[in-house]
Structure 1
Amino acid sequence: MTTQERFFKRSLDILVSLGAMMVFLPLILIGFLMATASTHASGIYAAYRIGQYGIPFKIYKLRSMRLEDNSSNSVTTLNDPRITRTGRWLRKFKIDEFPQLWNVLKGDMSLVGPRPDVKGFADELKGEGRIILSVKPGITGLATLKFKKEEALLALQEDPIRYNREVIWPQKIKLNKEYVENYSFCLDLKILVKTFVP
């Protein structure tokens, strides 16, 4: 990615994230109150994800799951019992992801790029795969579009964690490498359109 491409990408991130935050702020506030009431915890969920160059950053989402001290499972399926009724609604319409617009505005993330993952995935990439870490993680991307129904797909598997690591994750690596290696401003625009236009 050239310096000029980085400039245009960052400019798009700032303009769109700032505008979207202003438009969706009432919905985010309502979602926050609903999430707080349904989970009996802060409506904002903050957790560390692996960012550009493998550096961890704190990502923000609306809380959609109950707190469970004994749960270390980072894979979520459609029928996960931890998800509240309100959480299912927030996740269905992707409203739980809206706080990530703040991550984009801050510069932790971009609108388009590889989805940021928990420790144990992107940070362990080797060889050519590490090219994925050369760009900021995104709210949407090629892999996001392909696996729009990821939680439903995982719910069908006997071992969702294994299926995620052995089947879905390798496909995501391939798609994310393709995105970085073939980056263009027009590609970002196409991905954004496909994300929001059915």
Structure 2
Amino acid sequence: MTWKKRIFDLAFLLAISWMVVPVLLYALVLLRWRDRSPLFYVSERMRAPGQPFLFWKLRTMRPDPGDSGVSGGHKTARLTPTGRLLRRTRGDELPQAWNIIRGDLSLVGPRAPLRLYVEAFPELYARVLRARPGITGLATLVYSQHEQKLLAQCSTPAETDATYRRRCIPYKARLDLLYQRHASVRTDLWLIAVTAGRAFGLLPRHSRRLPRRRRKIPMGGDLRRRDGTHASRLYALA
């Protein structure tokens, strides 16, 4: 992460702290009242190959000691009513402000992956994680709804894992690499604005436009080809 992006993250976080802190406190009180403890969900994620960190979120599911892997359809029954609200508004991600302060996350970037996927596709994630993981990003905005639909069809952890590896990781990697090529303050501000607009219901929660061509990305193969996408396409995708 460049020093300019780091300064941008901290300055933006400071500018909106007057709004984030009261909302976070309200969410904590609501969780304590309706769902009891624990209030936080903490899991290991990777900010780069070989660099794990603790990823903080507000708890949205009933605890399960055997929980592992990506969230999917087989976990939907564990969502609490409060958790559904927090996920819909992305309020569950407010504690990640601490991860930004620590330097584990940026405001905008690829979604922080689990260790098992980074180790399964090391060459792919070596490229994707050249950008610091973010709370939001192009892949998150464009693909999250489609990913949820794919994983909602899964009924077992094994099925969820297989679907995520085969149908989600390659496509999200393409979008993350596209973001890397066009990363700028203007792009980050746009993606943050789209994220906020969807969280507050001012914009549709799904992308109206996806890339027409779904070029297959080899797992660990050559990812150097440029797709010629102009920066303006990022805004259309989001």
Match of 1:68 among 64, 82, 90: 64
Which 5+ residue runs of structure 2 have no aligned equivalent? 198-202, 204-238
CA distance in structure 1 between the partners assigned to 2:74 and 2:195 by the alignment: 20
- How do residues 11-50 of structure 1 correspond to structure 2 at under 5 angstroms? 11-50=7-46
CA distance in structure 1 between the partners assigned to 2:12 and 2:74 by the alignment: 30
Q: Root-mean-square deviation (CA), in Å?
A: 2.3
Q: Go from structure 1 to structure 2 and tell me whether the alpha carbon gap of 1:18 and 1:38 turns closer, same or farther (over 3 Å shift).
A: same
Match of 1:195 in 2: 195
Q: Go from structure 1 to structure 2 and tell me whether the alpha carbon gap of 1:54 and 1:195 turns closer, same or farther (over 3 Å shift).
A: farther
Match of 2:95 among 78, 95, 99: 99
Moved over 4 A (4+): none
Match of 1:156 among 140, 153, 156: 153
Q: Which moved more, 1:152-161 or 1:117-126?
A: 152-161
Identity %: 32
Q: Secondary structure at the match of 2:16?
A: helix
- Is 1:136 aligned with 2:143? no
Which 5+ residue runs of structure 1 have no aligned equivalent? none
CA displacement at 1:79 relative to structure 2: 6.9
- Given residue 130 of structure 2, which amino acid in structure 1 is its aligned partner? S
Q: Would the aligned equivalents of 1:54 and 1:123 in 2 still touch at CA under 8 Å?
A: no
CA distance in structure 2 between the partners assigned to 1:16 and 1:78 by the alignment: 37
- Given residue 192 of structure 2, which amino acid in structure 1 is its aligned partner? L
Q: Would the aligned equivalents of 1:122 and 1:133 in 2 still touch at CA under 8 Å?
A: no
Q: Secondary structure at the match of 1:134?
A: coil
Q: Give the length in aligned residue pairs.
A: 194
CA distance in structure 1 between the partners assigned to 2:74 and 2:182 by the alignment: 32
CA displacement at 1:129 relative to structure 2: 4.6
Q: Would the aligned equivalents of 1:60 and 1:100 in 2 still touch at CA under 8 Å?
A: yes
Q: Would the aligned equivalents of 1:76 and 1:151 in 2 still touch at CA under 8 Å?
A: yes
- Given residue 40 of structure 1, which amino acid in structure 2 is its aligned partner? R
Match of 1:77 in 2: 73
CA displacement at 1:138 relative to structure 2: 0.2
CA displacement at 1:195 relative to structure 2: 2.0
Q: Secondary structure at the match of 2:76?
A: coil
CA distance in structure 2 between the partners assigned to 1:178 and 1:68 by the alignment: 36
Q: Go from structure 1 to structure 2 and tell me whether the alpha carbon gap of 1:19 and 1:42 turns closer, same or farther (over 3 Å shift).
A: farther
CA distance in structure 1 between the partners assigned to 2:65 and 2:36 by the alignment: 14
Q: Go from structure 1 to structure 2 and tell me whether the alpha carbon gap of 1:182 and 1:54 turns closer, same or farther (over 3 Å shift).
A: farther
CA displacement at 1:38 relative to structure 2: 3.9
